[in-house]
Amino acid sequence: MEEESEITDQDIEGLKKYAVFRSAFRVPTASKIASIVFGIIALLLGFGSISANALNIILVLIGGALLIEGVWLIIAPIYYGLLIDGILIAVIGVWNVVTTLLNSKVTGSVVTPLLAYGIFQLAWGITTIIRFINNEKSIVTFNRLESKNYEKIADSLYALSPKEYSDMFAFKARKTWKGMFNDNAVICMSDGQDIYVTQREKFCFIINGKKSGNGRNKAIMLIDRQRFKGTVDDSSLENYEAWISEDKSAETT
């Protein structure tokens, strides 16, 4: 017999805050890729000029740190990832600006592209650091120790099966999503990384054609304004339809 997962309205409110907390410090994909690209360029420039000046070993070290940091943030994002990302990019920007200006005193001319590249990196890094500081201020009221509790709640929900719990669903796209239907909200989680808590009316499944009969129904999942293409299993679809029918029956009473 199917049962409902045990989660309170207080847990849902806490998960909403936790979702904001997580998203506020998520490093944008562009920054992760930029760190890797900047790191590779720094390694190439550093190794290429280390014979001319041994100090370029510093550029190699910074480039290596950027490359490792970028890959690390893709594989295992961390809370201070945005800050680390901003600091490293700003540091390499300062390095490129300072070395370009110092070299110009020797050569008598400024390598404009390299100077512009350094200024661009410095601006990127400072902007990223400012974003982290603003995010930090915006959620200062959220207890970080309390966030560990909500992280456990999210993990426990993600482990539940739609076959055993009538208020759960699973959706397979590029990521595997799990979620819970509530009276007024929907909780969505993907592979333990992303978490969304959205209003009931801002979530839905759109089935492409008829039910497949093999447990893998092609569908589109809408979360707020985001669309995900994938498949939803029969149990999840039945739970969703029952949840929708409850809403419709409530409207008619």
The pLDDT tens digits of the residues spanning 157-174 come to 888 889 999 999 999 998
Predicted local confidence at residue 242, as pLDDT: 92
* pLDDT average, residue stretch 14-22: 76
pLDDT score of 252 more than 90 = no
Which tokens in the block code for residue 202? 């801002």
Please report which confidence band the pLDDT of residue 141 belongs to, taking 50, 70 and 90 as the band edges. low
* pLDDT average, residue stretch 200-214: 80
pTM attached to this predicted model: 0.58
Predicted local confidence at residue 29, as pLDDT: 75
| Beta strands 176-181; 185-190: pairing state | antiparallel
Please report which confidence band the pLDDT of residue 183 belongs to, taking 50, 70 and 90 as the band edges. confident
pLDDT, averaged across the chain: 83
pLDDT score of 1 more than 50 = no
Nearest to residue 132, comparing CAs of 79, 192, 74?
79
Please report which confidence band the pLDDT of residue 231 belongs to, taking 50, 70 and 90 as the band edges. very high
* Residue carrying the six token digits 């426990």: 156
pLDDT score of 181 more than 50 = yes
| Beta strands 176-181; 168-172: pairing state | antiparallel
Please give the CATH number for the structural domain made up of 160-252: 2.30.29.30
Tell me what percent of the residues of the chain surpass a pLDDT of 70.
85
Predicted local confidence at residue 142, as pLDDT: 60
Identify the weakest region by mean pLDDT among 74-78, 117-121, 239-243.
74-78
pLDDT score of 93 more than 90 = yes
Integer angstrom CA distances of residue 231 from 167, 175, 201: 18, 11, 21
Predicted local confidence at residue 214, as pLDDT: 66
Predicted local confidence at residue 250, as pLDDT: 52
Q: Mapping DSSP to helix (H, G, I), strand (E, B) and coil, where does residue 170 land?
A: strand
Predicted local confidence at residue 94, as pLDDT: 94
**E strands of the chain, at which residues?**
168-172, 176-181, 185-190, 194-199, 203-207, 217-223, 226-232
pLDDT score of 6 more than 80 = no
Q: How far apart are CA 85 and CA 93, in angstroms?
A: 12
Spans of all domains in the chain = 21-138, 160-252
pLDDT score of 113 more than 50 = yes
pLDDT score of 153 more than 80 = yes
Please report which confidence band the pLDDT of residue 102 belongs to, taking 50, 70 and 90 as the band edges. confident
Q: How far apart are CA 188 and CA 198, in angstroms?
A: 8
Q: Mapping DSSP to helix (H, G, I), strand (E, B) and coil, where does residue 23 land?
A: helix
* Residue carrying the six token digits 């959706």: 171
